[in-house]
Amino acid sequence: MSSVGSDVILERMMTLHPKVIDLTLDRVQRLLAVLDHPERKLPPVVHVAGTNGKGSTVAMIRAGLEAGGDVCHVYTSPHLARFHERIRLAGELISEAQLTEVLDRCYRANGPDSITYFEITTCAAFQAFAGTKADWTLLEVGLGGRLDATNVVDKPALTVITPVDLDHQAFLGDTIGLIAGEKAGIMKRGVPCVVAPQHEEALEVIERVAARVGAPLIAAGQHWHVSAERGRLVFQDEDGLLDLPLPRLIGPHQIVNAGTAIAALRALGRNEAACEAAVTKAEWPARMQRLSTGRLADLARPAELWLDGGHNPAAGVVLAETLRGMPERPTHLICGMLNTKDIGGFMRPLGTVAQSLTALSIPGEKNTIPAEETARFAAEAGLPAATAKSLDGAIVEIVARDPGARILICGSLYLAGHVLRENG
């Protein structure tokens, strides 16, 4: 057992490969072999890829499975406030002692060999899961699918592809079709794949890959349908109709995520009670999350304080739709983004629903866009824009100007993590 904490080992792991992102399975497969293949000893796996909605969909599947008494391992990324959030071990966030132990074991097993941070920490998650009893393993893809470090499970119980859109074009390709091809790489022969509603171009690629590998599809619009009707969620598939409450997670896009999760639960043989729990009990932070307690929430009073981690053009669209559907109130954005994102694409839909944007550089992030540049993009999207030196300063200034406002902090999961830590 290491005498140092998980933070120190994670810090060391950052230095094992010159690039943060370098998609290939070779390094992961090499280390997993040294570790005696923990990926072959996991409880049945549900593997989830997609551009948007992966985390929410995983949270709903988990809520549905746990409602029936099943125990789930869950692997998601990135984390918001602490690395431990990425690894949920038999229903609970991994403890510091368990995390330190598996990280240390992987670090020693890898030696000086080149491996990315995500790859070695994924191996650590598999190591933790393989050594702990559970009924299911829910794996969220980190980036893409085909060459993602999670894509080493030969025979998952089910795969899921949430909506595919433009994001990470530098790594996955610059068209929706190319990106869909990468996401579709998680499909396996004979393993059913639940497919969320997709752009036509994405669906064509997914169907082509499914036919090639022999994966039966359970596709939205063909095998299942979901909609909001008269304040209820209506889901229909070949097994019948479900009339359920609307999702607890806020926003019209959560209807699609709920439908995808329900289709997955039905494919796993779960009943209506599990499907209802999926929509009513799921929790997923920084997805249109109201911050009503904590230091920043107190600072914002009497204004409302909200937080969302969406950061690509599709997320901008659903954020704008969500704001339109909320009780009318002047909305002011506080935004910080990374330089790998399509900032203009994210902001354009928000130009029609917000009164102003205050730009921040994300604290502690070397890839942050400078606040001045974010403000310039906001102005181009039709948003009156200013900059602030700090999150506290931005909140105080907006409240002084418009105490009855809704303040939405958005633009990056890294900013969301900073907010949650600052809010305590």
| pLDDT tens track for 206-218 | 999 999 999 999 9
Look at residue 113 and give its three-state secondary structure. Answer: coil
Give the pLDDT of residue 424. 86
% the chain with pLDDT above 90:
89
Indicate the DSSP class of residue 362.
P
Kindly tell me if the per-residue pLDDT of 171 is higher than 80.
Answer: no
Sign of dihedral through CA atoms 349, 354, 360, 365? negative
Mean pLDDT (the chain) is: 95
Sign of dihedral through CA atoms 261, 263, 268, 270? positive
| pLDDT tens track for 248-278 | 999 999 999 999 999 999 999 999 999 999 9
**Phi, psi dihedral angles at 161 (to 5 degrees):** -120, 110
Terminal-residue alpha carbon distance, the chain: 30
CA distance 397 to 403: 10
Whether 63 and 151 have beta carbons less than 8 Å apart is answered as no
Give the β-pairing of 158-161 and 193-195. parallel
Residues 6+ apart with CB under 8 A from 285: 80, 307, 416, 420
Rg (CA), the chain: 21
Structure tokens at 79: 């984390």
Kindly tell me if the per-residue pLDDT of 165 is higher than 70.
Answer: yes
CA distance 299 to 112: 47
Residue 99: which pLDDT band, with cuts at 50, 70 and 90? very high
Residue 170: which pLDDT band, with cuts at 50, 70 and 90? low
Residue 172: which pLDDT band, with cuts at 50, 70 and 90? low
Kindly tell me if the per-residue pLDDT of 151 is higher than 60.
Answer: yes
Indicate the DSSP class of residue 386.
E
Taking every pair of Cα atoms in the chain, the longest distance, rounded to a whole number of angstroms, is 60
| HSE value, Cβ hemisphere, 13 Å, CA-based, for 38 | 23
Give the pLDDT of residue 1. 45
Q: How many CB atoms lie within 10 A of CB 122?
A: 28
According to CATH, where is 3.90.190.20 located in the chain? Answer: 289-423
Distances (CA, A) of 225 to 52, 75, 222, 240, 418: 19, 28, 8, 11, 37
pTM for this entry: 0.91
Look at residue 276 and give its three-state secondary structure. Answer: helix
| pLDDT tens track for 195-242 | 999 999 999 999 999 999 999 999 999 999 999 999 999 999 999 999
Angle of CA points 114, 115, 117, to nearest 5°: 135
| CATH 3.40.50.300 fits domain 6-281 | no
CA distance 359 to 58: 31
Q: How many CB atoms lie within 10 A of CB 213?
A: 15
Give the β-pairing of 136-140 and 45-49. parallel
Indicate the DSSP class of residue 338.
B
289-423 folds as Protein-Tyrosine Phosphatase; Chain A (3.90.190)
Residue 24: which pLDDT band, with cuts at 50, 70 and 90? confident
According to CATH, where is 3.40.1190.10 located in the chain? Answer: 6-281
Whether 110 and 10 have beta carbons less than 8 Å apart is answered as no
Whether 372 and 359 have beta carbons less than 8 Å apart is answered as yes
| pLDDT tens track for 390-411 | 999 999 999 999 999 999 999 9
Strand partners, 89: 92
| pLDDT tens track for 328-354 | 999 999 999 998 888 999 999 999 999
Give the pLDDT of residue 166. 76
Task: Give me the mean pLDDT over the 358-363 stretch.
Answer: 96
Residue-wise over 230-241: b if at least 16 C-beta within 10 A, else e? eeebbbebeeee
CA distance 21 to 8: 21
Kindly tell me if the per-residue pLDDT of 18 is higher than 90.
Answer: no
Identify the H or E element spanning 93. strand 92-93
Residue 20: which pLDDT band, with cuts at 50, 70 and 90? confident
Beta strand segments in 178-321, E: 193-195, 217-219, 224-229, 232-237, 240-245, 289-290, 304-307
